[in-house]
Amino acid sequence: MATMPTRIDRALFEAAKAAGELHSRSAAQQLDHWARVGREFEASPAVTHDEIARVLAGQASYDALTDRAQAFVRVSWNQQTAERIDTLDFADQLRATGQPWIEADADGVVVVHEPGSAGA
């Protein structure tokens, strides 16, 4: 199978890497799998793209969709949520409270931020 180089969003690549580990796939294999599933979804006569677009725009009811169409909407909502979370940065607001806060770093290590400290 011939492959073509392409650029992938870092968050999508990391998600593929994590999901791939669960299924014994490389990140590239997981992305390929997702692409094939998406292609089949779009080609499926059971999934009406107009209905999905209306639900995503808030113009129609999610409950009225078929199970397959609901799955497609959930994928879209998950992606939108992840993108919004990636843009959130509450550090300034938390510093302004004058109270310490706790978070996990990228490796899952707990970090305590004290107001006024260099790391906060």
Over its C-alpha atoms, the chain yields an Rg (Å, rounded) of 20
Q: Which domain holds residue 71?
A: 10-87
* 27 within a domain of the structure (yes/no): yes
Q: Which residues contact 60 (CB under 8 A, 6 or more apart)?
A: 51, 54
Between CA 60 and CA 51 the distance in angstroms is 7
- Cβ atoms of residues 95 and 120 within 8 Å: yes
Residue 118: per-residue pLDDT: 60
pLDDT tens series, the chain, 120 aa: 677 888 988 988 998 898 888 878 889 888 888 888 778 777 777 767 788 888 888 999 999 888 888 888 898 888 888 878 878 888 888 888 888 999 898 888 999 998 776 656
In a domain, 58, yes or no: yes
pLDDT value of residue 34: 85
4 assigned to some structural domain: no
Same domain? For 77 and 39 the reply is yes
79 in Cβ contact with 110 (< 8 Å): no
Give yes or no: residues 82 and 116 share one domain: no
| pLDDT recorded at residue 120 | 60
- 83 and 24 in a single domain? The answer is yes
44: in domain: yes
Give the amino acid at 49.
H
Residue 29 and residue 81 in one domain: yes
* pTM for the whole structure: 0.48
Q: Does one domain contain both 19 and 73?
A: yes
Residue 32 tokens read as 């390929």
pLDDT at residue 63, as a whole number: 93
Residues 76 and 32 in one domain: yes
